[in-house]
Amino acid sequence: MDIRYWNQRLETLPQPELRQLQLERLREVVGYALQTPFYKKRLPKVGISSPEDIRSLDDLKRIPFTVKDDLRQAFPKGLLAVDMEKVVRIHSSSGTTGIPTVIYYTADDLDRWTDLLARSIVATGAGPGDVFQNMMSYGLFTGGLGMHYGAERVGMAVIPVGGGNTQRQLQIMRDFRTTVLHITPSYLLHIHQRMPEFGLTPADLNLKKAWMGAEPHSENTRLKLQELFGIDIYNSYGLSEMNGPGVAFECVYKNDLHVWEDGYIIEIIDPRTGEPVEDGREGEVVFTNLIRHALPLLRYRTRDLAFLHPEPCPCGRTARRMSRITGRTDDMLIINGVNVFPSQIEEVLMSIPEVGTNYQIHLSRHEGLDRLTVKVEIYSKLFTGDLAALEALKNKINEKLRASITINSRIELHEPGSLPAFEGKAKRVVDEREKL
């Protein structure tokens, strides 16, 4: 196994030294937090009026959780800890669901974030000599710019193409012999489906690996894409509130994601009680950012569900590993009283060889009961018109889904390319139930 480090000393720091480093950085960040109107009001209520009031990492638990709505209420500068003269970049959400959330960065903040991205990239075995096609959106979204600067720091040749325009993406891959992609799983599935239109197969390209993020995906989706393209695919995790991509990243072992704990403190809590859960048990992920000073965030509830692996990784890194995101506390579907996460449905669909690369979950209500319809595209070579075979496939999908989510669903089979396709984040769920 080709194990590479960007900063071997920090990446293999013994746990006691790592915790001491976290404590020092937490004190520093709390000092910045106390400069903001938001935390200046909140922290003294729990006995924290100066960084010295943080005597151990256990003191972090005295701090109330920060939630998305806090960022909205603090818009635009209630969480800003430095003078605007020191701010060199601003990222913001679209605000389509209400007041936008905004993140500020100083030059040093960006430098520290970029270094963690460089570390993430090197952990996957990429480096100088690789040609990196960045297919994430640029602009206010942090995914594009973040990975862009990390790849440049490592010494890769970066193609900042952004998302969309599949034909052009494929042409660029051929022209420049692209070796690494940064892309959403749904768009990579879409690209594979459209390659025959342009007379291409994966063998015509020079791809070696892809980093996938921005939307949850199952292990079966990774395995399917690895098989379709013949490349290595690595899971990445990040969120704009914590800077963007590179909060956690897989190494060459692909045994889930190393959380860069010198940059972030991770907690896994019971989403109902807020109490910590033990390693190996799923709960809501909570992060404290230790490396951003312009906009400090303490104990931010992500709503993402995951668990921590208790055992170390054979790569030698001491940063603990977080599982892939299994769902969100706020995208959970309740169908006739049963809790269902879209990721459960995807996990089943991607395990069925006859299922193609696109699907949609449709919810409606009929005579007072919820109705779940799963629309799936199947491979063209299987679309033979044999009604008995199609009916058998529908039954097979329904049986597997029922074993996973415990409820019956209506299965619709569609020809390849007939369901809506997405070049950015996929909209997999259409919920037409009336709101109660």
Residue that wins the pLDDT comparison between 435 and 291: 291
For residue 226, count CB atoms less than 10 angstroms from its CB and return exposed for 0-12, middle for 13-18, buried for 19 or more. Answer: middle
What pLDDT band is residue 96 in, cutting at 50, 70 and 90?
A: very low
For residues 215 and 33, the model is more confident at 33
Specify the pLDDT at position 368: 63
The whole-chain average pLDDT of the chain stands at: 91
In the block, tokens 């669909």 appear at: 349
- The answer to whether residues 54 and 27 touch, using CB atoms and an 8 Å cutoff, is yes
Choice among 96-105, 155-164, 236-245 with the minimum mean pLDDT: 96-105
What CA–CA distance (Å, rounded) separates 307 from 368? 36
CA distance 32 to 34: 5
Judge contact between 137 and 101, C-beta under 8 A.
no
Which of 19-23, 27-31, 69-73, 208-212 is predicted least confidently? 69-73
- Token couple for 324: 């892939």
Residue 333: predicted pLDDT: 80
Q: Which amino acid is at 111?
A: D
Among 143-152, 175-184, 289-298, 339-348, name the one with the lowest average pLDDT: 339-348
| 52-90 pLDDT, tens digit each | 999 999 999 999 999 988 999 999 999 999 999 999 999
Instruction: Summarize pLDDT for 150-203 with one digit per residue, the tens.
Output: 999 999 999 999 988 899 999 999 999 999 999 988 789 889 988 999 999 999
Which pair of structure tokens corresponds to residue 355? 């299922």
pLDDT grade, residue 217 (50/70/90)? confident
Strand-pair category, 180-183 with 232-239: unpaired
Give kind and range of the element (H or E) at residue 353. Answer: none
In this predicted structure, what is the pLDDT of residue 116?
Answer: 98
Of 367, 389, 235, 262, residue with least CA distance to 320: 262
Share of the chain above pLDDT 70, in %: 95
- Residue 340's Cβ-count burial label (10 Å; 0-12, 13-18, 19+) is buried
- Tell me the pLDDT band of 306, cut-offs 50, 70 and 90: very high
Residues of the chain above pLDDT 90, percent: 69
The predicted model scores a pTM of 0.83
Largest CA distance in the chain: 73
Contact assessment for residue 320 and residue 266, using Cβ atoms and an 8 Å cutoff = yes
Residue 45: per-residue pLDDT? 96
Contacts of 327 (CB under 8 A, 6+ apart): 216, 305, 341, 342, 343, 344
State the pLDDT at residue 426: 73
pLDDT tens-digit series, residues 268-277: 999 999 999 9
Q: What tokens does 182 get?
A: 């940064």
- Give the pLDDT band (50/70/90) at residue 436: very low
